[in-house]
Amino acid sequence: MNPIACLVLILGLAAAAQSQVTGGLADVAIVDRDSGTSLSPHYYRGEYWVAGRPGARYSIEIRNRLGERLLAVTSVDGVNVLSGATAGWDQTGYVFGPGERYQITGWRKSDAEVAAFTFTDSGNSYAERTGRPANVGVIGVALFRERQAEAAYVPPPGPYAPPAAPNAPPAWPSAADSAGRNATDLAARRESMAGAAAALGARANSVPSLASAQPIAPLAPKLGTGHGEREVSYVNRTEFSRMQAQPNEVIRIHYDSMDNLLAMGIVKRPRSVPPAVNPFPASPAEQYVPDPPG
C-alpha cells in the first residue's frame, strides 16, 4: 500500500473513532438514518451528548468488540426498546455474535417489524405519551458477557498419608489454634472493610458533581424519541445465560437538539467568520495592462 493510501486510511479510522462511544466490550454510535452520518459525541461533565435533528430517523449501532457472544439490554428515554416496559437491567435484549455489528432502528413490534426511532419534541415522545417523561433524552446500553460452561474440576494428587490407627480419636484443632485463627480472620476482615470504604470514598470524590451546574435554559423544547412508521426488521430468538446479575458495562449517551446543546454550553458556539473582502474592488475579474495614451 502506498504512503498516500495509508494516510487516507488512518484519517478515515480517526474520523470513525470520533463518531462513536468506545467501551471495553462494545462500541455504540447514534446514526442519523436520513443523512447516513454518525452523530459526533460531545463529552461534557462526565457524560456523552449528541445533537439530533428534529424529524430525522435514527438508529443505535452497536458493535461487539469481543470474540464471544454479548447481550445488549437497550433503552431509549428509560423504556426498553424490545418490550416497551420501563427499562431494567434484568430484562430482554439483543444478542450479538463475536465481532458482530447491528443497528437497532426502532421499537420492536414483532419478530419482523419495528416502529422507527425519530427525533421529536419531548411532548410527542413515546415515553411521555405513555406517562413516563422523567428520563426523556437518554439512550442506555447495558452489556452482559455470557456464562461459559465450566470444565469438570479434577483435584491434583496430594502427598501420601498413612492410614490412621483404628482406634485413634479425630485430630481436632486446639483452642489456642482456633483463637489465633479467629483473631487473624477478624483482622483481615477489618482490613478488607477499611479498604473497601476507602475505595468507595475515593470513587464518590471522583464522580463529577452536576448540582453546581447552572445551564442556560434551552431555547427550544427538549428532544425525545417518537414512535415512527412501521418498518421491516427480522430477528431470531436465542437463549443467553448471563455471567452475572449486574451488567459488565453500561454505556450511556444523552441527546438533544443542537440549539439546546449550544444553550447549555455542551457545544461551544463557533466564532463568527468575517465576510470575504476583495483587495481590488474597482477592477473587473480579468484585465490586461492597457496601452498608454497617444
pLDDT value of position 162: 60
Cα dihedral: 37, 50, 225, 46 (round 10): 150
Cβ–Cβ under 8 Å, residues 79 and 87: yes
Cβ–Cβ under 8 Å, residues 229 and 116: yes
Q: d(Cα 211, Cα 217) in Å, to the nearest integer?
A: 15
Looking up cell 453500561, which residue turns up?
250
Looking up cell 445533537, which residue turns up?
51
Cα dihedral: 28, 38, 30, 20 (round 10): 30
The confidence band for 1, taking pLDDT boundaries of 50, 70 and 90, is very low
Q: 90-107, pLDDT tens digit by residue?
A: 999 999 999 999 999 999
pLDDT value of position 157: 73
Q: 28-62, pLDDT tens digit by residue?
A: 999 999 999 999 999 999 999 999 999 999 999 99
More confident residue, 133 or 197: 133
Residue 131, pLDDT above cutoff 60: yes
The confidence band for 140, taking pLDDT boundaries of 50, 70 and 90, is very high
Residue 17, pLDDT above cutoff 50: no
Q: 208-265, pLDDT tens digit by residue?
A: 433 344 445 556 789 999 999 999 999 999 999 999 999 999 999 999 999 999 999 9
Specify the DSSP element, H or E, that contains 52. Answer: strand 47-52
